[in-house]
Structure 1
């Protein structure tokens, strides 16, 4: 019986060592943006998101005389001093960009905004409004600037961003950061461009990621963090736990019989 106990103890220690070894990771695989000779020259203006078909834009027109803006803000007349900011935002007029890249504005009719940045679209609409309003003001916001984060993060999901200036690190932060099991050197970013989805890879352990054209996100981007080998192996071990326990029990029984 002592021999059986020794075998049982040895088997348990063997499994524990395997688990510990599979969970180990080196510093270079874990630390973000490790120091190197890379010169950081990220310029957000080079990667500002452009308006795409099916984007939903909130557009509010302002002027010195609020009465002249009423035809261009068809829902703004419903607002009252008692409304919360959230309710007021919900009542502001929104416009969906059609498949041709146009929005249909009151009085102005169809205005093409495809491929424009938010600021470029503001300037274009302001110019169009000048024929009706003296020195008009225009504010445009994305209503559907959504980014999805999947895989080995603490809180996977889809997130509506309050601004279009968002980085991959900020999106991962909203998802609770990568887990210890996430592969930081090969983060996948899926982006749709001109109706086609394209896959790009980012190495978050390297500083040159800050210079990547995909460091700043676009609307509807999907970030996927794959599990490391240890997590994959642990999953296999978990799925086969009953088999391993059965085999171990059988071996211990056989050894017990043979050593009587």
Structure 2
């Protein structure tokens, strides 16, 4: 075997090994929301999350005279005095929405809030409180507005959101963004509504994703970012990667020695 043939064989072997560990990437597969002719007209008001069964709501009633609100804030009323903000938040009354979409409020009894937005529920409760309190104020917050981000992101996990106005990009940002190995064109979103789970796909490289009804998240949404082909191939190699590289290097060395 002459010198040229020897190095040609070594080059082919080395190239084959490299192909096992990498794949071609492109800007198109990496950049988010690439511009196109889509008109961006999404309105958050169209996709505001609705209250569902098993939701946990914090409801605080206010009024000009704090004493008249005591029956409606049974837990927070006992914390009146010198307490820290964290303690006060922990003592605020919470209510779990039952399977019929109802909550049980002091004095008011059963109130149906299932299927309402937070603002709609505030107005409904405020009107019913009008028979007891003049110009009452009502504040409602979700205690269980949680989204989970899994797969090829920097910090996968579950996150409690301070507000129900959260987008898929913001949730991914909380998880440290997608890794270079994450597939941006086919992000899975799992949503549960009244016990029924549905799966939706989002292409984050397309600008029209902003118009998707799933761009804004709902409570308990799960986002999954799948790995690209290169990452899948690498996972197949697993702990054998170093062995394969060593064998390839050994073969090249042996061929060089035998053909001198």
Q: In the alignment, what sits opposite 1:40?
A: 40
TM-score (norm 1): 0.89
Matches within 5 A, 1:138-217: 138-217=138-217
Report the CA distance between 1:234 and its aligned residue: 1.4
Report the CA distance between 1:254 and its aligned residue: 7.1
C-alpha RMSD of matched pairs (Å): 2.5
Report the CA distance between 1:88 and its aligned residue: 1.2
Report the CA distance between 1:233 and its aligned residue: 1.2
Q: In the alignment, what sits opposite 2:19?
A: 18
Matches within 5 A, 1:56-71: 56-71=56-71
Give, in whole Å, the separation in 1 of the partners of 2:204 and 2:234: 24
**Over residues 77-128 of structure 1, what are the superposed CA-to-partner deviations in whole Å (9 max), with x where a residue is unaligned?**
2324532222211110000001111101001111111100000100111111
Q: In the alignment, what sits opposite 1:136?
A: 136
Q: Which range moved further: 216-225 or 9-18?
A: 9-18
Report the CA distance between 1:185 and its aligned residue: 0.3
**Over residues 156-190 of structure 1, what are the superposed CA-to-partner deviations in whole Å (9 max), with x where a residue is unaligned?**
00000000000000000000000010000000000
Q: In the alignment, what sits opposite 2:115?
A: 115
Describe the SS at the equivalent of 1:244.
helix
Checking the alignment, whether the CA contact within 8 Å between 2:53 and 2:194 is kept in structure 1 is no
Q: Which range moved further: 135-144 or 74-83?
A: 74-83
TM-score (norm 2): 0.89
Checking the alignment, whether the CA contact within 8 Å between 1:7 and 1:252 is kept in structure 2 is no
- Which sections of structure 2, spanning at least 5 residues, go unmatched? none
Give, in whole Å, the separation in 1 of the partners of 2:236 and 2:32: 28
Describe the SS at the equivalent of 1:169.
helix
